[in-house]
Structure 1
Amino acid sequence: MTEDQLEQEALGWLASVGYTPLREGVELECKAAQGASGRGQVPKDFWPTYSAMANAHGGVVLLGICEKTGVFSVAGLNDPAKVRAELFNNLNNPGKVSTNLLSDADVQEMVLDGQTELAVRVPQAARKDKPVFLNGQPLGNTYRRLNDGDRKCDDDTVKRMLAEQVQDSRDTRICNRFGLADLDLESLHAYRNQFASHKPGHPWVGTDDTQFLRLLGAWRHDRETRESGLTLAGVLMFGQWPAIMECAPLYFVDYQEQADAPDTEVRWLDRVVPDGTWSGNVFDFYRKVIRKLTADLKVPFALKGDTRVDDTPIHQALREALVNTLVHAYYSDRASVRVIRRPSGFEFRNPGALRVPVAQALKGGESDCRTRTLQQMFLMINLGERAGSGLPRILASWQGEGHTLELTESFEPYDQSVLTMGWAPGKTPGKTPGKTQRDILALLRSDGSLAFPQIAQALGKSESAVERAIKALRQEGWLERVGPAKGGVWKVLK
């Protein structure tokens, strides 16, 4: 039988006995497990697969299935009880494997073509159990499942897993000898204004900046080492760019507006990155990007008392998604925080793998934030949550409006988690074009080959004004460029 046929038959059998797959597209590995005597034996290559699946998304290993050049056949196990006993003896031997993730229910006898096999369900390891490694030594003996292979992890990856295992929060360390001079005071005071507006009677409102930072967790004194200074969270949230680079050299935040099918010469229509014109810190990135994400969203007229409510479930979902990305990012990893807006939707990427399985993250109820001090800072200005309900709230708000949402994680080329939020067909929001934009559309309907100077001359506008208007029309899905920047034509879509 083929691999697809085997997987469908095996998973169908597993489902029939209440053996729920770990996730959609479950990883499946087959091993003959015959042993020298032919009675059955746990093969040596089972253990790298166990480590690899545990350190990735989990999977199922079928013992008693042979594979040759992509064709699978049932060999069966003459003594499955012997193989099961050997499996659990080794799982509980710390010299063989670092942790046993399996219970009796995870090893099931199954029958295919009249032969008995063992189906071994390997769950994804919890953060505090990773890395799952072999032979008593994590370096050089830790594997991860990538595509359909078991790949040995390099030392840097193993060290990141070990650090994640022991550190509940990654932003509390003191950046020794960093002080107020390393902060962007405009960012700090903008935050304080937002805090005072949200909590006008709060006792922290009247404190000086240093005391406010201490109370917020942005400044800390270590009683054991007697070090005092800004925490990593304080530098990330309010710091100036040079200070951030000293404390977190791999830190980078990136916002891009892209077309769904970008021109080869135009990679983005708008971009926000630390470029020396602004602080580059997390709080300012949030302030800049949230305005761009929500700038064109329609707001129905609604009142709460005598006050207009300029908010919708879509606004709420995008705010939550942006904050979620910023507080779960591993700022010492090699990927960047990246937010992309396209006509078809949004993409939020943060460096670092998820700390809980995808299904659990979407279900909620288990909060395991990587930067808990940053998370608390956002909470104090009524942004984000701390009950493990962030993604379920995003899911409910976004899908409740008929749109699509997908959460994935990958380990190549770097560990990263990606939340993709797509507009439902026919539900892409947008502004009604203004007069200049309508005039441009009328011109281009009659002649799509017109260039910026020709449009500007025809309308009596500056070229920069025409360029801005066309950029907005493209973002709103009114215009599309067909062909290259030189020699192509404009196509009016609506």
Structure 2
Amino acid sequence: MINEKNIKKYLELGENQNLEFKESENKFPINALETISAFANTDGGIIILGVSEKEKNIISGVVNPQKQIKELFNHMNNPREISRNVLSNDDVYSVQIQDKSIIVIHVAPENYKNKPIYLKDNPNKTYIRQGEGDYLATEEIIQSMTRDASRDSYDNKLLDGYTIDDLDNLSIQKYKDILMRNNPDHPFNNLTTIDFLKKINVIQKNRKNNEECLTLAGLLVFGKHESIKEYLPHYNVEYIRKSSNIENSSYSDRLIYDGYWGEDNLFNFMFSAFEKLKLTISDNSKISADYLTRESNSKLIIAIREALANSIIHCDFLNHKGVFIIRYPDRMIFINGGSLRISKEDYFTGAHSTPRNHYIQEIFRLINICEKAGTGVPKIMNAVKEYQLKKPEVKAEIDSFELTIWDTSIIENLNISNEVEKGIIELIIRNKFCSRAEIEKELKISKTTTIKYLNSLKEKNILVSSKIGKVHVYKLNDTEQHLEKYNMVNTLYSIIEEIKRN
């Protein structure tokens, strides 16, 4: 909570993506509703009433805070002014700063099922937050939010006029062959092609006119290029391999529709892109016990498969960004259209997220491409832990999501040349955290030498120290906020393992 002790920090920050100041000496500023809408539709934020917008760091104050808080909730509970009240009593409070009062409003990001949050009983008055400003959302973003809020998976949409003739027979046969190979006793193996496609929800009966037609999932997974593009002109799936780590470097390999690798439906793209990614993983991808050499690569390959599958089943294919995979020498970036529908913190701990494309997920699950919702990210994080890779990064925009998986180790990424410092980091990687005495004993170095290099690593922001009971311990500095929950859980498990060992 904001109070008299920490208000200076917020004033010095100034307005940003998650912080807004409003002058409101005598009356609640009605334009604050735009910011509430914007924060709720984006990443959340804090509004402080009673701070000058003209003079930086100046508290102008609120004359009667309780009166303005009442005005705020009168607005929030009027559906003709805002579509949904996103605030509770605990989210709004006044703070006395010396001889002046301010009002603090905490706005949490709204659940995707309740978006968009709009004003004046008009969905076109939907606001989003970008930088320091509140902006009206585009029609495309509003439509994306509305689709996400629907109870139905959008890919179950029935496509009038689209039939089995719009599907690629070779893709269907390859799919059936995989099912037969993986599960020779599956009852679907003995069905005719039409009955098989009905069972996996590629074809459904339109109960309005009793005609059989394709689902959107069926068209996307098995469709011909021209049929997919006819229904979704912006449809795009692409893989590109860069020749260097520079963003605008040339590419050495590319997978985009050209007629050579078959139809660019999701089934073909999933397997073609996955095979290309696998070929870029060296046979010695796993770090061994000494944390410097490498051994096997199976878990990293599984992580790549999960990331690729997640990009597809969570993609909003009505968004023009589609699915785009970029392979740099040191990392893989998985981009898909559509916002992240849970928080970054929950994402990394494997919290349940309903996929946008439930039917596509079920089609892929039948041939073991993906499993139940929520298992993909833990497998990715398991590979990161197993190979001691640099932690993944996420970039969540209002209309797209981006996951970066590195295949460089923590030590490789830090580029540490000093052998003592390298030894300290390796020890901390293995144990999650270490005391100074443990480092001295394990590395057989003096107290003076240990302190010297621990201080050096702290100055480089590689290590941080904290206390467990009365003992000072050192751990890697993980400054990425969205990984804190994952690291906390991981550390707790490490403590339990240490207790068991002893």
Deviations 1:212-243 (A, max 9, x none): 11111111112234232121111111111111
Aligned 8 A contact 1:356 1:368 in 2: no
> Residue type matched to 1:29 in 2?
E
Look up the match of 1:63.
49
Look up the match of 2:311.
325
> Residue type matched to 2:79 in 1?
P
Indicate how the Cα distance of structure 1 residues 391 and 295 shifts in structure 2: closer, same or farther if over 3 A, else same: same
Q: Percent identity?
A: 29
CA distance in 2, matches of 1:318, 1:215: 29
Q: CA deviation at 1:419?
A: 0.6
Aligned 8 A contact 1:108 1:118 in 2: yes
Judge which range, 42-51 or 318-327, deviates more: 42-51
- Residues 318-397 of structure 1 mapped to structure 2, 5 A cutoff: 318-397=304-383
Look up the match of 1:282.
266
Structure-2-length-normalised TM-score: 0.73
Q: Does 1:82 align with 2:67?
A: yes
Q: CA deviation at 1:179?
A: 2.6
Q: CA deviation at 1:132?
A: 0.6
Query: SS of 1:65's equivalent?
Result: coil
Q: CA deviation at 1:298?
A: 4.1
CA distance in 1, matches of 2:345, 2:211: 41
Q: Does 1:410 align with 2:397?
A: yes
Look up the match of 1:450.
none
- Superposition CA RMSD, Å: 2.7
Indicate how the Cα distance of structure 1 residues 358 and 426 shifts in structure 2: closer, same or farther if over 3 A, else same: closer
Q: Does 1:121 align with 2:123?
A: no
Higher helix share: 2
Q: CA deviation at 1:300?
A: 6.8
Structure 2 spans left out of the alignment, 5+ residues:
287-294, 414-502
Structure 1 spans left out of the alignment, 5+ residues:
13-24, 36-40, 303-308, 429-494
Deviations 1:251-278 (A, max 9, x none): 11010001344597x6311100011222
Judge which range, 176-185 or 321-330, deviates more: 176-185
Look up the match of 1:195.
179
Q: CA deviation at 1:336?
A: 2.8
Select which of 236, 256, 265 maps to 1:273.
Answer: 256
> Residue type matched to 2:350 in 1?
G
Indicate how the Cα distance of structure 1 residues 113 and 335 shifts in structure 2: closer, same or farther if over 3 A, else same: farther
Aligned 8 A contact 2:352 2:373 in 1: yes
Aligned 8 A contact 2:388 2:410 in 1: no
Indicate how the Cα distance of structure 1 residues 301 and 170 shifts in structure 2: closer, same or farther if over 3 A, else same: closer
Aligned 8 A contact 1:174 1:227 in 2: no
CA distance in 2, matches of 1:112, 1:168: 49
Aligned 8 A contact 1:240 1:279 in 2: yes
Indicate how the Cα distance of structure 1 residues 82 and 227 shifts in structure 2: closer, same or farther if over 3 A, else same: farther
Paired residues in the alignment total 396
Q: Does 1:138 align with 2:131?
A: no
> Residue type matched to 1:103 in 2?
S
> Residue type matched to 1:51 in 2?
S
> Residue type matched to 1:9 in 2?
K
Query: SS of 1:397's equivalent?
Result: helix
Aligned 8 A contact 1:109 1:119 in 2: yes
Deviations 1:140-169 (A, max 9, x none): x11110111101123333233223322531
- Residues 70-469 of structure 1 mapped to structure 2, 5 A cutoff: 71-113=56-98, 115-139=100-124, 141-262=125-246, 267-277=250-260, 278-299=262-283, 312-403=298-389, 404-411=391-398, 415-422=399-406, 423-424=408-409
Indicate how the Cα distance of structure 1 residues 262 and 407 shifts in structure 2: closer, same or farther if over 3 A, else same: closer
Q: Does 1:27 align with 2:18?
A: yes
Query: SS of 1:275's equivalent?
Result: coil
Q: CA deviation at 1:299?
A: 4.6
Structure-1-length-normalised TM-score: 0.75
